[in-house]
Amino acid sequence: MLRPFLIGLQFLTRLPVRTQAGTSQQIAASYFFYPVIGFLIGCAAVAVRRSLTTIFPESFSIVVTLAFLVMVTGGLHEDGLADVADGLGGGWTTEQSLGIMKDSRIGTFGALMIVFIVLAKYAALTSMPPDRADRAIIAAQILGRWAFLPLGHFNPSARQGLGSEFMKGLHATTIVLGTIVSVAGVTLLSRGQGILAFCGTCAIVAAASALFRRRLGGVTGDCFGAAFQFAEVATYAVFLA
């Protein structure tokens, strides 16, 4: 099981992990580890926050922690969110939206959406007690990556690309096992809040699925990044309430 885990780690992060190209079965098996990788990333982010707070104020520590979460993934999810925002905000038809999303340049809608998302994360985490913020960070990283699984399994692909290749390997068994691991993880982490956060992520996946089907005809690789960002903010909102 080490090879599938390393494949998932190499795909989801910018950590210096190098492994040989796996078989289609190993790539598909790596999807099960997405919530696990999210847990590890969340724990690393918490370690960063706690280390910084021994020297700096909580607000500054949260800023650096958020920057760490961007750097460890290479801004992959933020890039997806910006592309989706530009495509949906600037395109009147499906073809126009998909065309805009392929443009590597960021537009007004994308820039504004990133600003709003980062502000929402910062406001939420700095408004929580430190121990709750730690649990929220870990839960958000687990659930954000779990969201990839149902979003890819229950929706058609809008076009050929990295997203469509990912979707081909998603099977019902992966969804079930990934869900069991994710729910168990967030429940052990924070009981009632964890369950509510999972329900909130389910609502985000359902709403995103409906939007992407209507506006894009399905999902693309960028859509996964956008769904992750909203699932993360939704989780923080649950822990904040």
Backbone angles phi, psi at 154, to 5 degrees: -100, 5
DSSP, res 31:
G
Give residue 7's identity as a one-letter amino acid code: I
- How many angstroms separate the CA atoms of 166 and 163, rounded? 5
108-126 and 76-90 helices, crossing angle to 10°: 130
172-216 and 34-53 helices, crossing angle to 10°: 80
Q: What is the band of 26 on the pLDDT scale with cuts at 50, 70, 90?
A: low
Per the DSSP assignment, residues forming a β-bridge with 157 are 219
The reported pLDDT for the residue numbered 174 is 86
Other CB atoms within 10 Å distance of the CB of residue 74: 13
Give residue 93's identity as a one-letter amino acid code: T
Site of tokens 């590597």: 104
Q: What's the whole-number mean pLDDT along residues 37-65? A: 96
Q: What is the band of 102 on the pLDDT scale with cuts at 50, 70, 90?
A: confident
Q: What is the band of 50 on the pLDDT scale with cuts at 50, 70, 90?
A: very high
Q: What is the band of 1 on the pLDDT scale with cuts at 50, 70, 90?
A: low
Is residue 175 within 8 Å of 233, Cβ to Cβ?
no
Handedness of CA 159, 163, 168, 172 (dihedral sign): negative
The reported pLDDT for the residue numbered 158 is 82
Is residue 155 within 8 Å of 212, Cβ to Cβ?
yes
Mean pLDDT score across all residues of the chain: 90
- How many angstroms separate the CA atoms of 20 and 31, rounded? 17
- Whether residue 169 has pLDDT greater than 70: yes
Q: Which of 60-74, 155-169, 204-218, 224-238 has the lowest mean pLDDT?
A: 155-169
The reported pLDDT for the residue numbered 20 is 62
DSSP H helices, 74-129, are 76-90, 94-102, 108-126
Q: What's the whole-number mean pLDDT along residues 200-207? A: 96
Q: What is the pTM of this model?
A: 0.93
Tokens of 12: 């989801």
Q: What is the band of 236 on the pLDDT scale with cuts at 50, 70, 90?
A: very high
Site of tokens 């190209």: 21
Is residue 35 within 8 Å of 185, Cβ to Cβ?
yes
Q: What's the whole-number mean pLDDT along residues 118-137? A: 96
The reported pLDDT for the residue numbered 8 is 82
- Whether residue 143 has pLDDT greater than 90: yes
The reported pLDDT for the residue numbered 24 is 58
Tokens of 194: 């964890």
